[in-house]
Amino acid sequence: MIVRAVARKDIPKVVKLARKLAEHVNDPDPKLTTEIVEELAFGETRWFEALVVEHNREIVGFAAFTQSFELHTNSKTLLVSDLFVCDQIRKSGVGQALLEALQRVANDRKCGVIRFEVWQENEQARAFYAKHDAQAVDDVDLWQIAV
């Protein structure tokens, strides 16, 4: 098992996995294309970075992330927007390997925390993160404005 930064050649498989993640959390099909994701990951403005897990020459998982900074607390955060492992290989250490790699990225960037977005009904993900000492943040509310 190898955890590494996503490469352009990985994008078609990452798109497939992202669609599976959307299905898993009952989101609509994200209508992603290889071209869209390649531009978002490698274009002039990089909207996200990603790690992939390669097992037997197949991409079996990924984590997409970005970083955030709060001026009023002088704190750096690694924000993980998506983390997904193929059903058939779950509970084999792939998720653990992704978390460990994310921790290395966060440490290298001197982040104080890694923050995850977890759908409230995704009990499997909530149990996974809790097992790794993650805690739900309840001192802030997530708000958004559609544009």
Question: pLDDT by residue (tens digit) across 13-37?
Answer: 999 999 999 998 889 999 999 999 9
What pLDDT, on a 0 to 100 scale, did the predictor assign at position 52?
Answer: 98
What pLDDT, on a 0 to 100 scale, did the predictor assign at position 140?
Answer: 79
Q: Tell me: pLDDT of 104 over 90.
A: yes
Q: In order of start, what are the domains of the chain with their CATH numbers?
A: 2-132 (3.40.630.30)
For residue range 75-90, what is the model confidence (pLDDT) as tens digits? 999 999 999 999 888 8
Which pLDDT band holds residue 62 (cuts at 50, 70, 90)? very high
pTM attached to this predicted model = 0.89
What pLDDT, on a 0 to 100 scale, did the predictor assign at position 89?
Answer: 84
Q: How far apart are CA 136 and CA 118, in angstroms?
A: 9
Bigger pLDDT: 2 or 125? 2
For residue range 107-132, what is the model confidence (pLDDT) as tens digits? 999 999 999 888 888 888 888 888 88
Residues with Cβ < 8 Å from 64, sequence gap 6 or more? 18, 48, 49, 50, 80, 81, 82, 83
Give the 3-state secondary structure of residue 135. Answer: coil
What pLDDT, on a 0 to 100 scale, did the predictor assign at position 46?
Answer: 94
Q: Tell me: pLDDT of 67 over 90.
A: yes
Q: Tell me: pLDDT of 96 over 90.
A: yes
CA within 13 Å, CB half, 89: 19
Compute the mean pLDDT over every residue in the chain, rounded to the nearest whole number. 92
What pLDDT, on a 0 to 100 scale, did the predictor assign at position 124?
Answer: 84
